[in-house]
């Protein structure tokens, strides 16, 4: 008899396959368990809500919203285009308010759901929002397209893109418009082809309009050289701001605010997830002038306001009143940088307030939200 034991036979291909599968399953369970424990126990809490999908429903063909400015843009985009890029500045109301009632204009913009008033690299800016589906939203860099607000079908062509911003002190951040016209002046916009949206491209212009100490900047990309969206923007802003010129009171300000700017109730914070980024809507009333901003993390601290670094990216001047049950809208786009996206996980968001009076920052709200794996 052989004293040496017979060695185990080499695993067959089938055995190797089952061994790999078993080891992989064990590894996945171990990895998931480690991550769940290290992540947040709130991940299993059924009371923690799930983030919503912010970009639906898109508007159906011909569907109007209660945002008159958006409807004006849609009507202009649907009209026949021309080859004449001449633009006439119509900024009388904006100019009068900026020169004669700057505090009232500032408070109107900060109180309006249709504007984000913020600071970027030392410059005070106001950027126009539009409604996407039922909600006011903040798209990346403030650009809206026919694909954002519709009518649009997946796979369809991009036919226009638009951005509107006010440089409060006459300065913008990353670009300067090709025109700077005062009220009543007319000139041919500098237009050029931009093929970013496909063969043939769209006609782009960067137009600026002087309004007292401010400059109004409009970026339009559309299918013909005629500046239909730019002209529609100027007409609508004149209509929107004229009541404040005629009767510059807080009562007029409140009556003129777009729908959804002020709502009754209790302070709230709602999170929408767009792939790996977040849209954070909040409704608050800090009771005094100042800015809100969003911080992530369950142990968040006040943001940095270093002069060289600048304020938090999500900073926004928000409306306020003496009635704490009146809530004003803020909407912030928060980049969702994360090393691991294993579902499910929880993100904590807090809303902080930075008073213009110079007092210490204070936390207004903190909420936890379940998140989906953007790649899952």
In the predicted model, what is the mean pLDDT of residues 149-174? 79
What tokens does 225 get?
């050289």
Between these two residues, 313 and 174, which has the higher pLDDT value?
Answer: 313
Give the whole-angstrom CA distance, residue 124 versus residue 112: 16
Q: Name the strand (E) or helix (H) holding 245.
A: helix 228-246
Q: Rounded distance, CA 118 to CA 115, Å? A: 10
Give the pLDDT of residue 48. 80
How many angstroms separate the Cα of 165 from the Cα of each of 139, 143, 177, 225?
13, 10, 11, 21
Q: What is the pLDDT of residue 134?
A: 77
pLDDT in tens, 26-44: 343 333 333 333 456 666 7
Cα 192 to Cα 189: distance, rounded to the nearest angstrom: 10
Burial class (CB in 10 A: 0-12, 13-18, 19+), 158: middle
DSSP code for 189? -
Residues in the chain, overall count: 376
Name the percent of the chain lying above pLDDT 70: 76
Bridge partner residues of 202 (DSSP) = 194
Higher local confidence (pLDDT), 227 or 21: 227
Strand 192-194 with 202-211, pairing: antiparallel
Q: Is the pLDDT of residue 239 over 60?
A: yes
Percent of the chain whose pLDDT exceeds 90: 49
**CA-CA-CA-CA torsion sign (303, 173, 276, 49):** positive
Q: What is the CA radius of gyration of the chain?
A: 26
Asked if residues 111 and 328 have their Cβ atoms less than 8 Å apart, the reply is: yes
Residue bearing the bigger pLDDT, 172 or 195: 172
Flag whether pLDDT at 140 surpasses 60: yes
Roughly what angle, to the nearest 10 degrees, separates helices 228-246 and 68-78? 150
Strand partners, 293: 352
What does the domain layout of the chain look like in residue ranges? Answer: 68-256, 262-371
> Whole-angstrom distance between the N-terminal and C-terminal Cα of the chain?
60
Q: Determine the pLDDT at residue 196.
A: 65
Q: Is the pLDDT of residue 57 over 70?
A: no
Local confidence band at 109 (pLDDT 50, 70, 90 cut-offs):
very high
**Second CATH level (architecture) for the domain 262-371:** Sandwich (2.60)
Mean pLDDT of the residues in the chain: 80
State yes or no: pLDDT of 15 exceeds 50.
Answer: no
Token pair, residue 91, equals 């900024």
Q: What is the pLDDT of residue 291?
A: 96
Lowest mean pLDDT among 227-236, 281-290, 328-337: 328-337
What is the distance between the alpha carbons of residues 102 and 165, in angstroms, rounded to a whole number? 17
Whole-model pTM: value is 0.83
Contact yes or no for 124/168 (Cβ under 8 A): yes
């Amino acid at each position: 008899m052989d004293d040496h034991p017979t060695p185990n036979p080499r695993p067959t291909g089938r055995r190797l396959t089952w061994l790999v599968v078993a080891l992989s399953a064990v590894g996945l369970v171990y990895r998931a368990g480690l991550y769940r424990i290290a992540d947040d126990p709130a991940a299993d809490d059924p009371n923690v809500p799930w983030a919503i999908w912010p970009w639906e429903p898109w508007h159906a063909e011909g569907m109007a919203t209660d945002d008159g400015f958006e409807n004006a843009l849609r009507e202009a985009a649907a009209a026949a285009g021309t080859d004449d890029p001449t633009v006439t500045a119509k900024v009388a109301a904006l100019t009068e308010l900026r020169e004669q009632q700057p505090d009232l204009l500032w408070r109107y913009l900060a109180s309006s759901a249709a504007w984000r008033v913020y600071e970027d690299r030392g410059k005070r800016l106001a950027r126009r929002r539009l409604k996407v589906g039922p909600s006011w939203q903040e798209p990346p860099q403030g650009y809206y397209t026919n694909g954002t607000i519709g009518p649009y079908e997946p796979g369809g062509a991009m036919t226009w893109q638009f951005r509107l911003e006010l440089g409060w002190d006459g300065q913008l951040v990353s670009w300067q418009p090709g025109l700077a016209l005062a009220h009543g002046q007319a000139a041919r916009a500098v237009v050029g082809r931009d093929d970013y949206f496909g063969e043939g491209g769209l006609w782009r212009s960067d137009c600026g309009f002087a309004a007292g100490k401010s400059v109004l900047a409009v970026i339009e990309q559309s299918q013909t050289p005629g500046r239909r969206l730019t002209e529609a923007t100027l007409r609508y802003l004149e209509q929107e701001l004229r009541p404040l010129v005629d009767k510059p009171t807080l009562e007029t300000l409140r009556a003129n605010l777009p729908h959804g700017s002020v709502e009754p109730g209790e302070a709230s914070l709602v999170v929408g997830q767009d792939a790996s980024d977040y849209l954070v809507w909040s409704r608050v009333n800090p009771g005094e002038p100042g800015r809100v901003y969003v911080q992530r993390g369950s142990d968040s601290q006040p943001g940095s306001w270093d002069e060289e670094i600048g304020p938090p990216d999500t900073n926004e001047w928000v409306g306020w009143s003496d009635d704490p049950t009146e809530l004003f809208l803020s909407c912030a786009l928060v980049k969702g940088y994360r090393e691991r996206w294993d579902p499910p996980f929880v993100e904590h968001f807090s809303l902080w307030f930075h008073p213009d009076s110079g007092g210490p920052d204070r936390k207004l709200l903190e909420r936890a939200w379940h998140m989906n794996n953007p790649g899952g």
